[in-house]
Amino acid sequence: MHFQADHAVGILFVAIGGIAVYLGFDYGFGDMSEMGPGALPVLLGTVLFLFGIALIIQTTLANAGSSGTSIMPREEVRPFLAVLAALLAFGLLIDHVGLLPSVLALIGVGWLADKRSRLKELPILVTAIVAIIIGIFYFGLGIPFHLVDWSV
């Protein structure tokens, strides 16, 4: 059986979706006429979980006739790990250092996923994405994030 990047992504989706569903029920689901704070994490976690299962099944069926074993191809390891590390960095930092440093970490670590990225492109990318994210989530939607909070 070939173990490809799609398998790893499917397993990751199943794990994250399952955790979201499990933790979402702790917040109270409510009902459809008055949804509780856990409804969105549970619903999105369920969708992510099902996508993960579908991806694992699809990849397994597509590779059913192939023989031998192989781990994720070497050229796919770097992007996979960089994106995973970027998401983990954002998730771990957002409550402790605020939105701005968390987004900077997300972009900086995620930028490492592409070998062809040039350092001179990074400041432009950071400026644009930070402005868009802060504009949408902080000012547009009024989500009460601390822009910078060094309470580590």
pLDDT (tens digit per residue) in 85-129: 998 999 888 888 988 999 999 999 988 888 888 888 889 989 999
Sign of CA dihedral 7, 87, 37, 136: negative
Please enumerate in sequence order all residues whose Cβ is within 8 A of that of 61, keeping only pairs 6 or more positions apart, or say none: none
Asked whether 151 and 103 are in contact (CB, 8 A), the reply is no
> Do 92 and 25 fall within a single domain?
no
Least confident range from 34-38, 64-68, 82-86, 107-111: namely 64-68
> Do 57 and 95 fall within a single domain?
no
Compute CA distances 109 → 2, 57, 124, whole Å.
Answer: 29, 30, 15
pLDDT band for position 71 (50/70/90)?
Answer: low
> Do 81 and 48 fall within a single domain?
no
Predicted model pTM: 0.57
Q: What is the rounded CA–CA span in Å between residue 62 and residue 10?
A: 14
Domain count for the chain, please give it: 2
95's tokens: 């409550």
